[in-house]
Structure 1
Amino acid sequence: MSQSTKNTGVLGAISISGQVLTHVWRHPANRDRRLRSVLRAVSYQVRGRLGRPTVARLGERSRILARPHHAAAGLVVYGNPPDWPEMHAWRRLLRPGDLFVDVGSNVGTYALWAAESGTTVVAVEPDRQAAEELRRNVGLNGYPIEVLECALAAEPGTLRLTSGNDTMNHLVLGDGHGHGHGGTPVPVRTLDEVLGDRVAAGVKIDVEGAERLVLEGARAALADRRITVLQLEWNRMSERVLGESREPVARLLAEYGYRLTRPDETGQLAPSDASGYGPDVFAVAPSG
């Protein structure tokens, strides 16, 4: 790489850092070290422009390889943990020996976070490049995380997945939804198959709008109350991928008695009607 190319990369990185300044400055993890956090973010972007990954700390002792083309890992650089309320909720909920299934794991932020607590983790990721990075991060930490390179949906088989969109890759369905044709064929399993007869203390489902399909493939576990808590993305991607709001997901969960909550900044779960769209929802199984 020529010196002029390097200089261009550095200037570009510094420019981009201005766009994330507010996020870094306001992130709860950075309250007592805002300036240092901003400098760390700029350094990460500069290193990325020069083709050098950054090893970022996640939690107390975990590490993750952060590269600019993997947005989820970059968010760890900007704030540890990146999803402050949600990840602190899992710190409260999970215990050593529990089973946690990370559906749509991407590069493994949630999988590593759960494994640090001594939790048994299954990480599910259909995108080949993300799965490769996920395995690197698992190896970097030495956690016994099981990585499944597949998608989860209502029934086993094969579906197509977009590519080149980093965390925004999504299923392309044959009913006209999914915004686009083509995609890469990926194997599909069901959550019921992955779980078998096991009980999951936690399942995080972040599959860019296809969360209902994952739940449809987990009806046996839901009926048996073998999933204690689920975290689900709750944005407009379901309209893009399935042509529907989040209401069908709410109805399906209500069918099995799950109550909808959202975490506060300390990770405490509080009831939420989850109408419309907003932050991730935590669905809690009925007790007793």
Structure 2
Amino acid sequence: MQLAELQRNWNEFGRTDPLWSVLTDARFKDNKWDPVAFFKTGEQEVESVLAGLTALGVTMPRRRALDFGCAVGRLTQALCRHFERCDGVDIAPSMIDLAREYDQFPSRCHYHLNEADDLALFPDNTFDFIYSRLVLQHMEPRYSKKYIAEFVRVLAPGGVAFFQIPAGPPAPGQEPPREWALPEAGFRASIEIDNMPATLEAGSPHDLQVRVTNSSPVAWPRGQHSSGRDVIVLGNHWLLADGKPFTPDDGRTALTDGLRPSETAYVPLRVIAPTAPGSYLLELDMVQEGVSWFAPKGSRTCRIKVDVCKGAGAQPVETAPVMEMYGVPQQDVLGVVEAAGGQIVAVLDDHSAEPLLSYQYVVTKTKAQQKPAPAPAGRVAAAPSGIPDGGNPEADEALLLLNGLAQHAALQARVSEALAKRLLGIERLVRETHELVNHVGAGVPTGGRFAVYQGNNLALTRILNRYSMYVDTTDVSIGPHLITHGQWEPWITSLFTRLLRPGMTAVDIGANFGYYTILAGFAVGATGRVYALEADPRNYEVLQLNLTVNGLLDIVQSRQCAVLDAKKRVELRRNPTLLGCHSLFAGEQGSARNVSVEALPLDEIIPGSVDFMKIDAEGSEPFIFDGMRNVLERSPQVKIIMEFNVPVLKLAGVDPASFLRKIHDHHFTVSIIPREGDLEPLNEQKLLDGPLYDLLLIRK
């Protein structure tokens, strides 16, 4: 696609549905985005990205920032809250006009129409921070590569560029492991539509009756798998007449009952006709949520030609805009950055372009450029060069942290003893590098699991054989279980993942290092939202690192605070070795380890309704309930997993029986979550005798 065509498409999106074209959530299509909520997502995204970079040890001056592909200024305005000046660049005149209309920082936000394939409107070394997300993926590689090189050129020494771009479809074996995935032979379906008219009115809905037959030799399961997502789903796409994508994901309906081989089910599906008149192809396919569409596995889709006519009162559209997707292989991105004089310091997973593999790249530029060490393929950070030989301890420590992001054995072939000595220059760091190489190459011999020491009391491990996770090595409560077993509280984990579904809003109060936050982020997906709240500064730092390395910064909104019944400052009593047991009530008052933290009621944090909560707050639970009355009123279907710790409640000055009555007053049915077996009906005397039980609360 030429730049002129790209400009025409996005200019049309700016005229017809600008906010949805930026954040393509099906719930807000056809101008249903509330602008206040839309721009709030930009603030949350920028805050999460900057916090994640800080957790990685990556900082930059806060003078001038660039938002590349700014559209209506969602991120430009958000960046202005953190930088003295922000420039937004876009190819579409309609988007630039809207950005100026929405702008709340006219003296510090500057918007530029850029129709060129470079950034010649800016001189070298201009920006301290460059951010681009969901933009480069819509350009042919010949353009996106040139823009990436331009990012490095206009980046000031000491600055940071953070951009996202897909690498392309997953290669065989690269798909993330899914223990619930169908075998390859199971991805076969026959799809037929009984009631599809040849013509639809632009923008109109139409309810289809679709016959779906399992044409594979494998039975499709019913209900939900362990992550809480629908197992098999019918979905549709709209394509242009030439087969190019137009609306990648229009609607989905879950196949709630399982299908044995050769069985047929009738599945209702609502489709929304494109808003622009013209000829289209309606394509239907099956998808196993969290795994794959059927078509890439060899199954045939159902395609029907549909003419879309102008509806009553509809505005004429010259040509339908197209939202195409392109990828650039990871090694090509690394090569472009290196050739331009930049340095990759982190390559992070990204989930915004699925089913394409996608990555977020963190790039820096130093005054004295040196050739950086090549990065291994996959989720790897390249080793930075140009670090002083012991002259800058903070830079040396950052080097250890960034090197630690390299999880794969490929690092062993790249970090030789000579290279380690040349980079680090002192014996202490040479020894630590050899320890890192040994860990990466062999892992820790714990039944096939591994842990990699990162420095700064951090170890990197893998949970549930799926997700990367950092833990604090000084912790003896949660961390050892995550390293040796890959999970925490399996009886809670199983129920937790069953209760969450895509699109839900979840709250994790007492998020700790982020174990349950990670599970929630992947369960609710890009259409959902997770709020992660953690009071302890160190735990919050590790939490941010885990959100970054798992690519969840756009799904999870995190905040360092305690949750109580009112806004105030409180003393957090920190346990020196049990980092999951910090409390406002248990522990030594006035200890030098303790910290003063902000406390907020949940009603001031959560603006809307909530589907699910996990509360583990070491005695603060009654006060949390007092501070979330409005949230509960807005959330009639909310489910809560929480700890009921009788001794700690008494330390907090709370009568456990009174707290239980308060729970019932909010119309919750209470069940006890046993370590083995099914949920148990509440036995009040057993609960009040303590000492500690895990509870599931479900609204009556």
TM-score scaled by structure 1? 0.75
Match of residue 136 from structure 1: 545
Match of residue 18 from structure 1: none
Deviations 1:26-45 (A, max 9, x none): xxxxxxxxxx74675xx75x
Q: Give the Å deviation of 1:81.
A: 2.6
Matched, 1:61 2:466: yes
Change (3 A) 1:181 1:50: closer
Change (3 A) 1:63 1:228: same
**Secondary structure at 1:181 match in 2:** coil
Match of residue 251 from structure 1: 661
Does structure 2 conserve the Cα–Cα contact (< 8 Å) formed by 1:122 and 1:147?
Answer: yes
Matched, 1:203 2:609: no
**Secondary structure at 1:116 match in 2:** helix
Deviations 1:83-128 (A, max 9, x none): 1111111111110110111101111011011112125211001111
Match of residue 237 from structure 1: 648
Match of residue 503 from structure 2: 97
How many residue pairs were aligned? Answer: 247
Aligned-partner Cα distance in 1 for 2:598–2:640: 23
Aligned pairs for 1:6-85 (under 5 A) are 37=446, 40=449, 44=451, 53-59=458-464, 61-70=466-475, 71-85=477-491
Q: Give the Å deviation of 1:212.
A: 0.9
Task: From the CA coordinates, give the structure whose radius of gyration is larger.
Answer: 2
Q: Give the Å deviation of 1:263.
A: 3.1
One of 266, 269, 275 as aligned partner of 2:688 = 275
One of 558, 574, 584 as aligned partner of 1:171 = 584
Aligned-partner Cα distance in 2 for 1:133–1:66: 7
Aligned-partner Cα distance in 1 for 2:679–2:511: 22
Q: Give the Å deviation of 1:179.
A: 4.9
Residue identity in the other structure for 1:248: S
Deviations 1:12-68 (A, max 9, x none): xxxxxxxxxxxxxxxxxxxxxxxx74675xx75xx6699774422223522111332
Aligned-partner Cα distance in 2 for 1:200–1:95: 13
Residue identity in the other structure for 1:283: L
Match of residue 186 from structure 1: 597
Deviations 1:262-287 (A, max 9, x none): 3356785442233332331111111x
Aligned-partner Cα distance in 1 for 2:479–2:642: 19
**Secondary structure at 2:639 match in 1:** strand
List alignment gaps of at least 5 residues for structure 1: 7-35
Does structure 1 conserve the Cα–Cα contact (< 8 Å) formed by 2:643 and 2:693?
Answer: yes
Aligned-partner Cα distance in 2 for 1:38–1:234: 33
Change (3 A) 1:135 1:267: farther
**Secondary structure at 1:188 match in 2:** strand
Aligned-partner Cα distance in 1 for 2:561–2:584: 11
Aligned-partner Cα distance in 2 for 1:215–1:271: 22
Match of residue 114 from structure 1: 520
Change (3 A) 1:254 1:69: same
Match of residue 562 from structure 2: 151
RMSD: 3.1
TM-score scaled by structure 2? 0.33
Residue identity in the other structure for 2:467: S
Does structure 1 conserve the Cα–Cα contact (< 8 Å) formed by 2:512 and 2:539?
Answer: yes
Match of residue 535 from structure 2: 126
Deviations 1:181-202 (A, max 9, x none): 3642211111122222x22121
Change (3 A) 1:89 1:268: farther
List alignment gaps of at least 5 residues for structure 2: 1-426, 433-444
Matched, 1:261 2:684: no
Does structure 1 conserve the Cα–Cα contact (< 8 Å) formed by 2:504 and 2:529?
Answer: yes
Does structure 2 conserve the Cα–Cα contact (< 8 Å) formed by 1:261 and 1:271?
Answer: yes
**Secondary structure at 1:243 match in 2:** coil
- Residues 92-101 or 69-78, more deviating: 69-78
Change (3 A) 1:221 1:38: same
Bigger proportion of residues as strand: 2
Does structure 2 conserve the Cα–Cα contact (< 8 Å) formed by 1:221 and 1:227?
Answer: no
Relative contact order (C-alpha < 8 Å, sep 6+): which is higher? Answer: 1
Aligned-partner Cα distance in 1 for 2:537–2:627: 22
The percent of aligned pairs where both chains have the same amino acid is 21
Aligned-partner Cα distance in 2 for 1:247–1:181: 30
Aligned-partner Cα distance in 2 for 1:207–1:227: 22
Bigger proportion of residues as helix: 1
Aligned-partner Cα distance in 2 for 1:52–1:130: 12
Does structure 2 conserve the Cα–Cα contact (< 8 Å) formed by 1:90 and 1:267?
Answer: no
Matched, 1:219 2:629: yes
Does structure 1 conserve the Cα–Cα contact (< 8 Å) formed by 2:460 and 2:468?
Answer: yes
Change (3 A) 1:154 1:58: same
Residue identity in the other structure for 2:617: V
Change (3 A) 1:55 1:227: farther
- Residues 50-59 or 217-226, more deviating: 50-59
- Residues 75-84 or 203-212, more deviating: 75-84
Aligned-partner Cα distance in 2 for 1:267–1:101: 26
Change (3 A) 1:230 1:158: same
**Secondary structure at 1:275 match in 2:** helix
